[in-house]
Chain A
Amino acid sequence: MCMSQAAEIAQRLAAVAPACDAWSVRVMRSTSESLGVTRGVVDPIGLGEDLGAMVTVEAKDGVGYAATSDVSVAGLQRAGSEALAWAQRSAGRMVAPPPVRRAAAMHHDHEDKPRLAWNAVSRADKIARLKGQAEQLKRDGRIGDWSAELSFTDEESVLATSNGDFIRQRRGIVVPGLAASASEGGETQTRTLGRGGVIRQGGLDVLDDIGFWTAAPRIAEEALELLAAPDCPTGAMDVLLLPDQMYIQIHESIGHPLELDRILGDERNYAGTSFVTLDMFGTYQYGSKLLNVSFDPGVAGEAASYAFDDDGMRAEKQYLIKDGILQRPMGGAYSQARANAAGVANSRACSWNRPAIDRMANLNVEAGASSLDDLVTQIENGIVMETNVSWSIDDSRNKFQFGCERARLIKNGVIGAVVKNPNYRGISATFWRSLKGLGNAGTVQVLGTPTCGKGEPNQAIPVGHASPPGLFADVHVFGGG
């Protein structure tokens, strides 16, 4: 088998690496394509070809990195020298020395194979199908903004180290989008396909799996329906969150607070700290007994499935919350060493030009036992909300407020009228304890976000969230105006 270009580049460093205690090189290559139709006009086609390398050097308890798109031998050698200079400059001045390296070298070489490759359908055919979706979104004169779009990224990463590690991973990532905005009388309502919450690994097969080709008429009709709907009422009530809202609730009020680098204070100047402290693991009741949350990098098709993280740590499923009790944080090798705590393999970088930090990957709420009908039936006075549109949470990841595109009232176990501008607010530390129902395996949807933002320098990275619908008691709900 021919060696990939990224693998060849990674192997170039060995010959020119600087004299140091340890080095690694992470090469990332991506090719991307964006297609879309906006308000009936085909968007300009955008392609991307990105290739670069980050060299990281350890010297006398200092660590430095240097990243470059010059992947020639000379370019890598220069990067190695610059990384060494930063390592020497930071020696004795770091928050903690680098962790002890593994004794055994890791070797892994894997390419994901989608059931239907992105290029299995011609570009012209994909554009024609997108135009068809766009036409179905423009069903009414009141729809003034509508779009159908697809983006695909073929991403390859190679990590090679002075320890003999060689880890190569390649995957495709698909991000689809459908949106329709209807306007009348100075008001606009928008419905989307998950509004940025739909991202999968794979190829064109993803689009059939998520119902991309059939969703447009419903999205348009629901945008129009919202224009005529009353505002969401105000009050405390049961709230049933569908997966395309659950994913962001999980992301903001479980995922970020459990990132170990936040708990250790690294993010306090930018993305924030956490109300979670190290002494809470093993005992703290994060949610009701129904709540089981896993870090699971092995879910096929989920946005952040991988075998090894960007520090070369093997990725395995771990429970972060079990039967409502906090178990472990999400922290990679460096954070684990600093905290003297078990973590997960979640040290990740968004590209070759950013260093790896603790990230969410696939962070999932495990299925419960109820069908969707069962969950609705047990609601006397409540509301079911779908598709996140607004999200906000404090810097300790505690006080939150979310808004959804659409909601329906529920009275005495029966779903009723559609309402617009549904919002709710709460506090993470108590909200998950009010969880009183979770959908079964058949209700789980695999979602995520392509652009989880964090880090200095900033990094936006894909994360996955699989979840069933969740039912919460006594939540403060309100509308717009």
Chain B
Amino acid sequence: MQDQFYAAADAITREMQGGEGFLARFSGETSDFVRFNRAAVRQAGKVEQRYLTLELFNGKRHASQTLSLSGDDAAAVRAAVKTLRDVLADTPEDPLFLINTHPQSTERKLPADLATSEEATDALLKAGAGHDMVGFYAAGPIHRGFANSFGQRNWDTAEAFNIDLSFYLHADKAIKINHAGTHWDGAALTTKTDNAKVRLETLARQPKTISPGNYRVYLAPAAVEELMGMMSWGGFGLSDHRTATTPLIKMVEQGVKLSSMVTLIENTRDGLSPGFQGEGFIKPPSVTLIDRGAYKDCLASPRSAAEFDEPQNGADGYEAPIALDMAPGALQADDVLKTLGTGIYVGNLWYLNYSDRNTCRLTGMTRFATFWVENGEIVAPLNVMRFDDTLYRMLGGNLVALTAPRDLLLSTDTYEQRSTRSMRLPGAIIDDFTMTL
């Protein structure tokens, strides 16, 4: 797809007239998708898609068109340039139009060794045999590209697989596992699925229902991921901060701090996502968002940077992290249950939202493997509970410990295209966690 995109960029270049220039963004993938239910195939197939976004500019006037590429790309871009030329006539000058005019070409192709779709399907059906396994396999190359009329060319290919499975015992009692990466490892998959089957035995115990109240909890990294996802929804963007719509408004305007254990970094260098963004700027290797509990830097897109007179730092338009990295703590994995003592082991959280954005108060549900623990021993699976608490309490004064080991969580999102977002997160022990329903 790289050759196709660069050829399209050359074709666009040939269409330019007078003071016109362009930005071009490419997003493509060839994906095998297999969906499972009850250890059988529910839907299986292949999707190949190639999208080009052409942004035409002339001075401070600009507009874009996103096209699905069908093969006759030269004709398609010719038509798009003509359309956009007409649109520019209706377009006022944009005072916030900021693009990279100093070409910085890059290329990254992550080495990969994936299984064939037949091998992967066979392995997953074998792993699920005799169990109520439900889940999803997605694999194949993901391509992103950028080009502009200044001669810049950027390309990124991440060939990866993502296996997201749940082993159900009954009703809503299940163990969820994720196995993702760039190199297929059948033995590691077998280890994970075998462990899940062993853990299912714990779910067979009589489930416990607790009353609303405050509990000591351990949030596994997959549960912490949900909290970070909510923080990322407007928490770190320059625009959200300057318009006071950030859920972290108390950190920004009143200097409220989280626990000094909390350091969050946008760690682009170690993520799967491309190191360039839509206006052609190269992302810095890392941006420190929260440093030992204190708010530090925002993610600043070129547009926000122009509006609020700040330097841009390579953020995309939505100004959310794509490779969020939380610093580890000191708690060893073997000490988690002992340190939790009596409380709740939360494997996953689900469907979070704000109950009060001004106080960063979040609500959500426990899901999948969540257990009642007494004196450091798992006693019973827990029936689902709703929590409602502020992030300032959860990751502030009530944060007891973060684990030393961290999980690399590759996003399973496939809305419109397969996501390359990732997070590297520890687990967290939290006191006085408020359960409400």
Contacts and interface: CB of A to CB of B under 8 A. Distances in A.
Interface of A: 39, 41-42, 44-52, 56, 63-72, 75, 82-83, 86, 89-90, 93-95, 122-124, 127, 144-145, 181, 183, 186-188, 190, 264-266, 268-270, 272-273, 351, 353-355, 357, 389-396, 399, 401, 403, 421, 423, 425, 427, 453, 456-460, 479-481
A47 B63 contact: yes
A51 B134 contact: no
Nearest to B166: A269
17 contacts: A42-B91, A47-B65, A52-B49, A64-B44, A68-B47, A89-B121, A353-B49, A354-B47, A390-B355, A394-B384, A401-B363, A421-B355, A425-B436, A456-B35, A457-B47, A479-B356, A480-B358
Given A41-B96, A394-B351, 7 more contacts: A65-B45, A71-B70, A75-B70, A123-B90, A124-B90, A427-B437, A480-B356
Contacts, number: 256
Top 4 A-B pairs, shortest CB-CB distance = A480-B356, A65-B45, A145-B243, A457-B414
Range, interface on chain B: 35 or more
B41 to A, nearest CB: 4
Nearest to B50: A69
Interface in B65-94: 65-71, 80, 83-84, 87, 90-92, 94
Contacts of B132: 265
A395 B172 contact: yes
A181 B351 contact: no
B359 interface: yes
A69 B44 contact: no
Contacts of B436: 401, 425
Contacts of B357: 188
Contacts of A144: 242-245
B421 interface: no
A479 B71 CA distance: 55
Interface string B351-394: 11111111101011101000000000000000010101000000
Nearest to A397: B351
B273 to A, nearest CB: 18
Contacts of B437: 399, 401, 425, 427
B119 to A, nearest CB: 11
B323 to A, nearest CB: 20
Given A51-B70, A269-B136, A395 B351 contact: yes
A42 B69 contact: no
A399 B386 contact: yes
B68 A75 contact: no
Nearest to B68: A69
A145 B354 contact: no
A66 B140 CA distance: 14
* Residue of A94, A355, A453, A457 contacting most chain B CB atoms (<10 Å): A457
A49 B350 CA distance: 35
A45 B83 CA distance: 12
Contact of A95 (B41, B68, B138, B363): B41
Contacts of B172: 273, 395-396
Interface string B149-192: 00000000000000011101001101010000000000000000
A421 B44 contact: no
B386 A45 contact: no
Interface stretch (B14-22, B248-256, B328-336): B248-256
B48 interface: yes
* Residue of A44, A50, A82 contacting most chain B CB atoms (<10 Å): A44
A39 B351 contact: no
Contacts of B44: 63-65, 86, 89-90
A41 B49 contact: no
Contact of B92 (A42, A70, A423): A42
A430 to B, nearest CB: 12
A67 B63 contact: no
Contacts of A453: 415
B33 interface: yes
Contacts of B174: 268
A45 to B, nearest CB: 4
Contact of A89 (B69, B95, B118): B118
A68 B384 contact: no
B245 to A, nearest CB: 5
Given A145-B243, A425-B386, A456-B35, A45 B358 contact: no
A70 B71 contact: yes
A83 B415 contact: no
A273 B174 CA distance: 11
Given A273-B172, A392-B351, A399 B164 contact: no
B49 A127 contact: no
A275 to B, nearest CB: 9
A275 B382 CA distance: 17
Interface string B130-143: 00101110100000
Contact of A270 (B45, B136, B249): B136
Contacts of A268: 37, 134, 166, 168, 174
Contacts of A264: 37
